[in-house]
Amino acid sequence: MQFGSPSVLWLLLIVPAVIWFYFIAWKKNRELITKFVHPNLMDTLTGEVSFKIKKWKMALVICSFIFLILAAARPQWGFKWEEVKQRGLDIIVAIDTSRSMLAEDIKPNRLTRAKLAALDLISIAKSDRLGLVTFAGIAFLQCPFTLDDEAFRQSVNVLDVDIMPQGGTAIGEAIKIAADAFKEGTENHRIIVIFTDGEDLEGNAIDAAGEAAKKGIKIFTVGVGTPEGETLRVMGKNGKMETVLDENRRPVVSRLNQNLLQEIAAKTGGFYLQLTGAKTIETLYERGIAPLPKGEQSARWVKKFNERFYILLLIAILLLIVEMFLPERKTSFKIGKIAGNIGVFLFVICIINFNSANASLSSAIKNFNEKKYKTALHEFEDLLKKKPDDPKLSFNVGAAAYMIDRYEVASNYFALALNAPKNPELQQKALYNMGNTLYRIGEKEQDLSKRYEQWKLSTNYYAAALKFNPKDKNAQFNYEFVKKKIEELEKQLPKQNQQQKDNNKEDKQQKENEKNQKDKNEQQQKNNQQQKDQQQKEQEEQQKQQQAQQKQQGKQDNQQQAQQNKQGETNSQGMAETKAVYMTPEQVQKLLEAQKSEEKPLIFIPPESDKQKNTSRNFKNW
């Protein structure tokens, strides 16, 4: 039992005040009577008045007041399951759990404020599905998409900086993991809300945002912290606060990187907000998320409690009616008789309430008989959730599903109805209906071999039903009918098998042709390459021959020049001997500089190893 409006129960605190008021009024009334009536006349004037009945009338009014308050609180007991479909968005919340989120530039610290903001988003996005991604040096899907607010809330509450095995801040990795969490082919808008201080130590956040934008994902970034930042201090192994130092042994000052977060959001059509006041998340949802068109979410089952306030309301009204007609003077009837009548009335109300609980079964049967099969199916399913082990209800659900052509569902429930060893009649009917259902399933199969399997299984159920009741003419007729259908199908199976073989043969031949064409193309390319190589070789030989001819011609020219020089020497006998020419220091310097400018030194540069590449950036774990 529970109350739909428990806040009304505080009115019960007024009940003692009402009792005190009646007590004071009673006492004041007695005092006034003694003042205006002589004691000798008291018994004569008040002899017919029953003070006992007056007390009962007061008690009835007070009890009626109590029942009215309880009725206003909407008592509920008993429940039924209802399938609820709602429209909403898919939102992934990504929370930074790196050590930089322990900075206390916003109180109590960045991580706590981010968690509180995520919890605020739950209360605002009531019809949306939420998922949770946590990230530091790596990212992880902490909570898949869910409509269960409590499950998401618990996932957020357990977050701390030690939840991720690798330190650092990888916003790009978080975006990739969040993008992978969305299902392909859904019409819902995909939204990622990132709570972080923006210190992207990996440097690939913009590229990841670009990839997310190609997939139609919209990212909203929420900056946690201040641009001025604060020196980062964490709890050390000795239990004391220690300052985090960088690779140069200098204190790390963590600052909010607003420019990066603005660029990430703008890349996907979202926007950036800094987490400052209490209405930051409300602004984010109203401006960015709420205007987006909502898609239909997957259905969920909701436990709906039955309202019983009318019972208490009837009791309160009855008590007031009894108080109104109850005389104050002495009468021949007794109060016990009135109380007995009230008890009978309450018993009748309880009986009516009990019968109302069974009214849904009769309503479901009535709807089934009136061919309202969908309504009957839902009602039978509600009843089955209350009594999951009732084979009769399973049979009824299967029958209703069969009538609306939901044969797979019907077969599942007929299988559950077979678990009724104490009711052979129900088992026989379930077997018969199972045979009908399997026949219909096979009738929809396009593959003849699968249809053959379903129909063969159908005849087995008909045969089992006939063992329970050999006089069942319907089962006998259907058994023979399906058996003939199987015989006709067996004649068609070889044709289908041959057709499949022919199709396979054609596919094989097509593949061989494609392979031959591919080989032919490769051979053609190879021949073309050989011809090209042969032509290039011939051109090189021609160039060599031309160079040899030029060399031979140069030798001949040198020989002629030598002969001419020899003649010139013989002709120049008797002339003065030529003087040697000396270079000045300035000319020598210029000659050396000219030779130096023509030098081409060979410099050896060793290749960069993978280890050197990896150590180009110092690892940062905050």
Residue 610 pLDDT exceeds 60: no
The H or E element containing residue 241 is strand 241-243
Question: What DSSP designation does 604 have?
Answer: -
* Residue scoring higher pLDDT (380 or 620): 380
**pLDDT value of position 330:** 58
Residue 412 pLDDT exceeds 90: no
For the chain, count helices (H), then strands (E): 19, 15
* Mean confidence (pLDDT) of the chain: 76
Q: Are 462 and 475 in contact (CB under 8 A)?
A: yes
Local confidence band at 562 (pLDDT 50, 70, 90 cut-offs): low
Local confidence band at 94 (pLDDT 50, 70, 90 cut-offs): very high
**pLDDT value of position 603:** 32
**pLDDT value of position 59:** 86
**pLDDT value of position 570:** 46
Residue 4 pLDDT exceeds 90: no
Q: Which residues pair with 194 in a beta bridge?
A: 94, 221
List, for residues 213-255, the tens digit of each pLDDT value: 998 899 999 999 898 888 877 776 777 777 777 777 788 788 8
CA distance 367 to 376: 5
222: which 2 tokens?
A: 């929420």
CA distance 486 to 455: 7
Average the pLDDT over each of 14-28, 65-79, 295-309, 483-497 and give the range with the smallest value.
295-309
* Residue scoring higher pLDDT (476 or 583): 476
Highest mean pLDDT among 481-490, 544-553, 595-604: 481-490
Is the N-terminal amide bond of 39 cis, ω within 30° of 0?
Answer: no
Local confidence band at 618 (pLDDT 50, 70, 90 cut-offs): very low
List, for residues 421-432, the tens digit of each pLDDT value: 678 888 888 889
Nearest to 384 by CA among 14, 35, 77, 83: 83
Nearest to 384 by CA among 401, 411, 361, 355: 361
Local confidence band at 114 (pLDDT 50, 70, 90 cut-offs): very high
CA distance 200 to 207: 12
Domains, the chain, ordered by start: 2-82+308-332 (no CATH), 87-296 (3.40.50.410), 370-491 (1.25.40.10)
CA distance 198 to 527: 59
Local confidence band at 578 (pLDDT 50, 70, 90 cut-offs): very low
Highest mean pLDDT among 72-86, 248-262, 323-337, 409-423: 248-262
Burial category of 138 from C-beta neighbours within 10 Å (exposed 0-12, middle 13-18, buried 19 and up):
middle
List, for residues 31-57, the tens digit of each pLDDT value: 776 776 666 665 555 555 566 777 788
